[in-house]
Amino acid sequence: MEKIAGLSDEKIIRIPTSDNFWRMGDTGPCGPCSEIFYDHGPSIPGGPPGSPDEDGDRFIEIWNLVFMQFEEGPPGTRTPLPRPSIDTGMGLERFAAILQGKHDNYDTDTLRALVLASADATGQDPDGPHRTSHRVVADHLRSSAFLMADGVLPSNEGRGYVLRRIMRRAMRHAHMMGARDPVMYRLVPALTRQMGAAYPELTRAERLITETLHLEETRFKAMLERGLGLLADETGKLGDGQALPGNVAFKLYDTYGFPLDLTQDALREQGREVDAAGFQNAMAEQRKRARAAWSGSGDAATERVWFEIKELVGASEFLGYSTETAEGEILSIVSSGAAVGEASAGTEVGVVLNQTPFYAESGGQVGDTGIISGPDGLHIVVTDTQKKLGDLFVHLGRVEAGTARVGTPVVATVDHARRGAIRAHHSATHLLHEAMRRKLGEHVMQKGSLNAPDRLRFDVSQPRPVTPDELAWIESEVNARIRENSEVTTRLMTPDAAVAEGAMALFGEKYGDEVRVVAMGEGEGNRPAWSIELCGGTHVRRTGDIGLFKIVSEGAVSAGVRRIEAVTGESALALIAEGERRLAETAAALKANPAEVADRVTALLEDRRRLERQVNELQKKLATGGTAAEIENIDGIKLAARNMGEVPARDLKGLAEAIGKQIESGVVALVSTAEGKASIVVGVSPDLTGRFNAVELVRAASAAVGGKGGGGRPDLAQAGGPDGHQAEAALAAVRSAMAV
């Protein structure tokens, strides 16, 4: 530094403490460092680094050069790195403060604007008693907004939980400044004005950030006021400096939703602590009760292993809304129904990661497939992803190479093409739902769905079949929305607010305090989008990504429920290509071009119907012609008995009645052997029904062809049997029955 920067000796000092050595944590790369401090002048209290009054603010570190030289191992061990390096880092905002002649980062133009916005929203002096609270609001607003712009949304796990804690700390400080209504969301425009030009993602996500902050603060303030009131009641019972009992803190958390860290923050200002051990004991007791209740829940007890794993590792964090590849750590491995520490190549496994981009099957959307890879050649092929106990994501598959071990860092990669096809079908389902409601009526509601990579299946409440014209309109309307190529947006809202905005809650979904609202298509009038639904699935970024929508079939599932099956994208193109191939083959067989196929088929069908009518007339003439020469006499009674061959069974009654009119008085027995089976009709003239019963005669004939029974009226009955070869035996049976 002396040679390069020309600094005098008194400005280059060695700090005789551990501050001159940098490490990333208890283990990992480390080494000595060279820190650069800026002297803000004697007007600011404080001494140089290493001096007794170094905690003052006169000397502020603005830069650090770390000479990465060692690998920190277990306590007391340190080994040289094979390739030492230099890591350099500058404090951007501290440097900006120097350039702007400010001593404090919060006095720089960007952050000062946010502090002033906070002061304006709360009505509190930016430099008064609440100076620190304004700074917390400004800093945490910025952090929260950037996290949300990067795809992180508040939740109770992982990154989402970190975001929620950041947001709630700022919201509590706004509450401390007397804000009775939500404040944070009103500050977003000030943030985007300051930083939107440099970070356009803030401007793109401004609506999402605003709505999420409003939702979170509205819910948080209700919880905060209730919780702080209860906390005040409980602390009023304690002595000076006495810790809050753990069971009380757990009651605030479990019953009223007041998290432990918030309780600790509130008590810290009073100089109190929380009995953390007592809190953990109360938490353990609750888990014990939950396990006892769950263990007796019938078939669910067969998957006890997942309950134990969730109790150990907690819920999985889903990253798949914003990425298809993510790093993670193997938290648990299940093989043959039991948790194991490792699994070698060839083993079927269920793997739980701390965070995953893989979507687990739910809401009609099938689970993702893909690869989990790790060190030493670890390669796990994931064939399905399922949810256990609501929020535990289990990657089902097979270890193809290497050894999977609990604690191993891995990279999880979703099958991109398959996920894309699933997204297209899922988004098309939303458009299909809205199109059906607009064409058929608002009674159309989802009753079930499947969104797979190769197709979609959509069941809706609909009392009658959907006509071809209606299906054509629906298909055309969905494709029109696809061609719009409008952005598909996702927001977090309360279920009530979402429904009030026009969102549809889907059948089979379970909704919590917050829901994802998916909107797509250009809005009309006061409606912000064409389709608005509550949905936790993954979707395309723009409707144009769906590509093409084609309905395959429509049919009944049960009373009042119809099913639409359809395809999108590549699957739709493949369906059209297959249809064109078959049309070309049909045209070739008809010796016509494809445009003439419909007319040619219509003509052929008309020819067939005409020929069938001619054949039917000829058969009737043949059956009734020459009857007089074929009349038998059974004890003085006329009998017209005839094997009709391939005459359709449905024509036998008409023929029997025609022959009966010709013979006037007597019995007619006809047998058809169409399709190899025997169909029998027996007619008895009205004057003989007192002597012969057509039902009894036809049953006798039926027995001869392997049939059972028969039915009808005394003057006309029918029966059948499986053996058409015994037609003559059936007629002989009628003769015998008449001769008795």
Region for 78 from its dihedrals, namely left if φ exceeds 0, alpha if ψ lies in -120 to 50, beta otherwise: beta
What count of other Cβ atoms lies within 10 Å of the Cβ of residue 64?
15
72-123 pLDDT, tens digit each? 888 878 899 999 999 888 888 888 888 888 888 888 998 999 999 999 999 9
Whole-structure pTM value: 0.68
**Strand (E) or helix (H) holding 463:** none
- Report d(CA 274, CA 259) in Å as an integer: 12
DSSP letter for each residue of 45-59: ----TTSTTTTSSSE
Q: For the chain, how are helix, strand and coil distributed in percent, rounded to 5?
A: 45, 25, 30
d(Cα 465, Cα 471) in Å, to the nearest integer? 10
CA angle, residues 99, 101, 102, in degrees to nearest 5: 110
Strand 355-356 and strand 348-353: the pairing is: unpaired
d(CA 283, CA 593): 76
Q: How far apart are CA 704 and CA 732, in angstroms?
A: 9
Rounded Cα gap, residues 565 and 458, in angstroms: 6
Let me know how many helices (H) and strands (E) the chain has, helices first. 20, 28
**Cβ count near 715 (within 10 Å):** 18
Residue 339: its H or E element? strand 338-340
CB burial string 407-424: b at 16+ within 10 A, e below? ebebebbbbeebbbbbbb
Query: Which two three-digit tokens encode residue 491?
Result: 């927001």
* Nearest-angstrom CA–CA distance, 370 and 358: 8
Q: How crowded is residue 635: how many other Cβ atoms within 10 Å of its Cβ? A: 8
Regions of the chain where pLDDT drops below 70: 1-2, 16-19, 290-303, 505-513, 617-629
Q: Is 492 exposed, middle or buried (0-12, 13-18, 19+ CB in 10 A)?
A: buried
**From CA 395, how far away is CA 382, in angstroms rounded?**
6
Taking a C-beta distance cutoff of 8 angstroms, is the pair 684, 667 a contact?
yes
Distance from the first to the final alpha carbon of the chain: 132
Strand partners, 553: 565
* Residue of 140, 450, 437, 353 lying closest to 265 (CA atoms): 140
Q: What values do phi and psi take at 545, rounded to 5? A: -65, -20
